[in-house]
Amino acid sequence: AVPGVLVTADAADVRALAALPEVRAVRPAVPKVVQNAGAVRLTGAARVWQRAGRYGDGMRVGIIDTGIDYTHADFGGPGTSAAYDAVDRTAPWTPTAKVVGGHDFAGDDYDADDPDRSTPAPDPNPLDCQGHGTHVAGTAAGYGVDRDGAPFTGDYRELTDARLDELRIGPGAAPKASLYALKVFGCEGSTSLTAQALDWALDPNGDGDFADHLDVVNLSLGSDFAAQDDPDALFVRKAVEHGVLVVASAGNGGDFYDVGGSPANTPEALAVANTRDAFALRDGVTVPGVGDRPGQYSRDYTGYGSLDLTAPVAAVADPANADGCDPIAQDLAGRVVWLEWDDVDATRRCGSGARADHAQAAGAVAALLSSTRDHFTAGIAGNAGIPVFQFTGTATREVRPALAAGSLRVRMTGALRDALPTTTPGLADTVTPSSSRGARGPVAAKPDVAAPGDTITSADVGTGDRGVGKGGTSMAAPHVAGIGALVREAHPDWTVEEVKAAVVNTAGGEVRSGDDHATGLPVAPMRVGAGRVDAASAVGADLLAMVVEHPGSVGVSFGPVAVPGPVREVRTVRVVNKSAAVRRVDLSYRAATAVPGTRVDVWPSTLVIEPGGTGEVDVVLRASPSELRKVADPTVVKRQAGAARQFLAETSGRVLLESGGTTLRVPVYAAPEPVADVRAEPVPPGGGPVAELRLRGRFLDQGDGDETYRSRVGAFQLQGTSDPLPDCGDGVRTGCAVNDSAKGGDLRYVGVASTAPVDRSDGALLAFGVVTWHDWVTLGAGNTPEVRLDTTGDGEDDYRVLVAKPQDATGAVVADVWLARTVRLSDGEVVDEQPVNGAHGDVDTNVMDSDVVVLPVRLKALGIDPAASSARLAYSVRTIGTYPAPGDEDGVVDRIGTPMSFDPLRPGYSVRVGGAVAVTHVAGPGTRLEVHRDRASLAADGSDRLLLLHHHNRSGARAEVVVPGG
C-alpha cells in the first residue's frame, strides 16, 4: 500500500503538518465527482455465458462509488422498498451472498466540496443513499431481475435474446462475481476518499498481507482536466502492481482537448469511453389518440410513485421567453406548459431546474421540453415540485401540430418511467457526444477502450426490484469491469497488464461519429481507444500485444512531438503467444487521423512466435518539419461558442495484428508540431528614443488557412522574474512544486505592453505576457495564470484577468476557446473577454503544450480612457492550480506578489512592426521590431529590459530577454 493517510484540515493545520520532520510529502486530494440487456448482447458478454460458461465465478469486484443497495432484487435482496427503508444505517450490516463485503469511508452527510461537510463521518453500513453505485454495481455483476420482480436464478447459458428482453433488468456482465461496496460518497456531492478505498481494495482484512486483494475495482468517478500525475494515480499504480485490475470511467466532459481526467488517465488504469447501443428503455408519456411517446423524465421530481395526471398543454405566450428561462407571466393553472429546449450546450440560456421553477410558479402542473435529438446526451434535473418530461426529436415533431392547434393533451404517469422499449439501429457503436476526449501524455494516451454507456437500465436504489435508465461513462466502465472479471476467471495466471491487453487488443467494434453508424466518420483513439469492447474475444484471446517502454499502458503514445528537423521515434510492442501452437502474425498500421508530413510504420511486417513465446515489433513515427500542416481530426467541430476553436494536429490509428482469422489492435497516438528557432540579433549600444531589433533564425511559414503554421512574436516590457520552484520533499513544504504538472504553473517572467501609444480607440489593449519554467498541459484548468490589477492606486485590487474557457450554467467547459477573462472584483461581473495570444483557433499561436501566454484586456473595460495622457496602475501575477504546495495559500502554485507599476498610456517600451502595434506579430526573415523608448516611464516602472515571446520555438526557448539599444 501507499504509506500515508488522508486528512481534512484548514490551511494552517496543513502547513503545520507539512513542517513535521516525520512527514515526507503532502499532496492535495483532488475531489472527484460521479460520472444492460442490450449492452451484454452488443459486447458479446452474453456469448461468454452461453459458449464459454464464464460468469465471473470466484471473482471479487469492488465498486468504489456511493455504496450499494444490497436489499435490491438485482443483488438477491428482499426486493422491496420497505426492506430498504428498514435498514438501520448506523448499525453494522450483514454481508449478503452477492454483496459479500465493503466499507463506508464517507458517511451519508459527507461532501468534499462543502466546507461544513468535508470531514468524513463514516457509519458501519455501506448502503447506497444516492443511487449511482447501485446502478454501477448492477451493470458490473448484478444477477438480473425477472419480469415478476424476483432475482434471476436461472441458467445464464439459456438466456437467449428473446429471454433477455423479457427481464425487467438484465444481468451484469459478470453475474456470478462477488461485489464489495466501497462507499466514498455521501448522499450528494464529491469525494476526496478514492485513495483510501483503493488502499482498502489491496488489503480488505487489513492484516498487511495483500494476498486477499480484490480482483477488479471499478471507479465510475473522476475529475475533469486532471493530470496524469494526480496523487490518486499513485494509488492506482500501487493497486495494479499488486494484482488489482483498475477500471475507470473516462469522463463526461465532452469533445474537448485534455478534458479526460483522473484517475482514468493513469497509464496503468483501464479507461473506458462511452458509446451508444441501438436499444434503450425510455420513459414515456401518453398522447391521447396518438399513443405512448418516448423521452425522458426529470431526475429531481419526488412524486413519481403516485404520478398520474392528464392535462392540456399550453405554450408560453411570450415568444421571447418560449424556453421559460425567465419568469412566466401568464396563468398556467391546471395546464402542462410547453418549453422550447436548445440542444446546444454553448447557446442554451438556462437549465431545466430554472424552467421547472418558473413553470411551477406560474401554476403549471407539469412541463414538457422539446428536443431535436432522438438520443439524449444528458439527463434533465427539473425540480422536486412538478414532473418535467422531454420528448425525443421524433416525438417532438409528431406532437407539434397538435400543440400549434391548441389541442394537445398528455397523460403523465410514473408507470411509464423506464418502460418504453425503443430501438434505433443506426445508433449502435456511435460515440456519445459527452464522452471525454482523453489525456495525451508521452506515457499513455487515453481512453483505452469504449463500451455502451448510454441509456443503460440497471438497479434503482430503494425501489426493491425496479430499474432506472442512466447514461455516461460511469455506466460504460462497470460493463468493462465485468468483462475484466470474466477474463480473469478464464485466465487466473495472467498479469493485470495481460488482462488489460486482452480487453484492449480485442476491442474491435469500430466506433463512428454522429447518430448513424452508416454515415458517421471513424472515431480516433483519443475518443474511444482501440474501439468498442468485445467480451467473447477478450475471454478467448490467446495472443496479446502491449507497448514495452511503458509497462501497463498497452497502447503506444509518442505524446506531443517537437519537430525542429526530421524526426524518427520508435516504440516497441511485445507480442505474447499464450496458445499451444506456433502463430504467424501479420502486422500493419491503419490510420484514424493523418497529418501531412508524418508517417507511421511497423517493422517487421510478419512475426512467427513459438508456443508460450514472444516477439517484438517496432512502431516507427517519422515527421518532416516543412511538410507538417495543422490538420484537425475530421470529427472535430472547428467552431464553438461563436469562435474558431483551438485544436491540435494529431497522427493516430491502430497497429493491426492478424493471425488465424482474428485481428488485434494496439492504439497509437502522436501530436507532431514544427518548431521554429527565432531570436533577436544582438543589439549594439545606443541611447536614442527608437531602437531596432531584427529577428533571425529558422521561421515557420507553411500551410493555408487554419492549417497554417507561421512564427509569431510578442514584445513586452519585462517587469517580473522568478526562480524555478524546487521540488517539494524532505524539509521543503512551501514555495515548491508537488509534481511535474505543478511546474507548468512555475512563473519565470512577466511582461506588459500596451497598444495605446498608437491606438487611442476604445479597442486599445493592455496585454500581459506570462512565461513559466515548464510547459503546461491544461492551461486554464490545471494551471491558470492570473493578473490582479489596482487601477485606482488605493492598494486594493480592482480587477483580475485570468485564462478561462466558456462554460455553461453548471461550470462545465463548452468550448476549446481560450480567453483572457477580466472580472471586476467589487461585484464579480465579467467586463471583458479577449482571445489569449490575441487570436482564436483559426490563427495558430501554440496555446496548448506551451510555456508562454499573452492575456489582453481592453483599457476601456478597466475604466481607463485610451485618449487620456496618463493612467498608472499596479499589478501582481500568480498562477492558480490543482496542485499547490501544501504549505502555501490554497490554490496558488506560484506568485510574483510584489506589485509592479506600469502606465499603459505612456509605456516605457512601445514595440511596433511597420508602425503597427499588436498583441503578437507574424515573424519572418525580414521582420524588424521598432522599439520606442520613454526613459521617464522606464525609470518610474523600474525596468529597462524587453521580453520577447517566440510562440513557436521549442520548450524553454520561447522567451528571450534583451536590452534594446544598450
Closest C-alpha among 859, 721, 836 to residue 780: 836
Q: Which of 72, 132, 491, 921 is catalytic?
A: 132
Contact 785, 855 (CB under 8 A): yes
Burial 696-711 (b: 16+ CB within 10 A, else e): eebbbebbeebbebbb
Element (H, E) at 791: none
What is the number of alpha carbons within 13 Å of residue 804 lying toward its C-beta? Answer: 18
Q: How far apart are CA 373 and CA 550, in angstroms?
A: 42
Strands 366-369 and 388-391: parallel
Closest C-alpha among 787, 769, 773, 818 to residue 920: 769
Place of cell 439524449: 376
Q: Tell which phi-psi region holds residue 912, choosing left (phi > 0), alpha (psi between -120 and 50) or beta.
A: beta
Neighbours of 915 (CB within 10 A): 7
Q: Which residues pair with 932 in a beta bridge?
A: 690, 910
Q: How far apart are CA 129 and CA 131, in angstroms?
A: 6
Cα 730 to its chain centre, rounded Å, is 33
Cα 105 to its chain centre, rounded Å, is 25
Angle formed by the axes of helices 194-202 and 231-241, nearest 10°: 10
- Please provide residue 334's backbone torsions phi and psi, each rounded to the nearest 5 degrees: 75, 5
Active site residue 952: no
Element (H, E) at 856: strand 852-858
Q: Which residues pair with 789 in a beta bridge?
A: 799, 875
Q: Which of 223, 371, 434, 474 is catalytic?
A: 474
CA dihedral for 602, 606, 611, 613, sign (positive or negative): negative
Strands 690-698 and 873-881: unpaired
Contact 508, 502 (CB under 8 A): no
Q: Number of helices (H) and strands (E) in the chain: give both, helices first.
A: 15, 49
Closest C-alpha among 400, 657, 612 to residue 508: 657
Q: How far apart are CA 268 and CA 554, in angstroms?
A: 8
**What is the C-alpha R_g of the chain?**
29
Place of cell 493545520: 13
Closest C-alpha among 630, 708, 768, 766 to residue 922: 708
Closest C-alpha among 412, 337, 422 to residue 376: 422
**Would you list the DSSP string of 353-422?**
HHHHHHHHHTT-SEEEE--S-SS-SS-----SSS-EEEE-HHHHHHHHHHHHHT--EEEEEGGGTT-EEE
Cis amide leading into 634 (omega within 30): no
Give, in degrees to the nearest 5, the angle at Cα 150 between 146 and 153.
Answer: 75
**3-state helix/strand/coil string of 1-42:** CCCCCCCCCCHHHHHHHHHCCCCCCCCCCCCEEECCHHHHHH
Contact 876, 899 (CB under 8 A): yes
* CA distance from start to end of the chain: 59
Active site residue 474: yes
Contact 782, 883 (CB under 8 A): yes
DSSP code of residue 466: -
Contact 477, 249 (CB under 8 A): yes
Place of cell 513535521: 20
Catalytic residues: 65, 132, 474
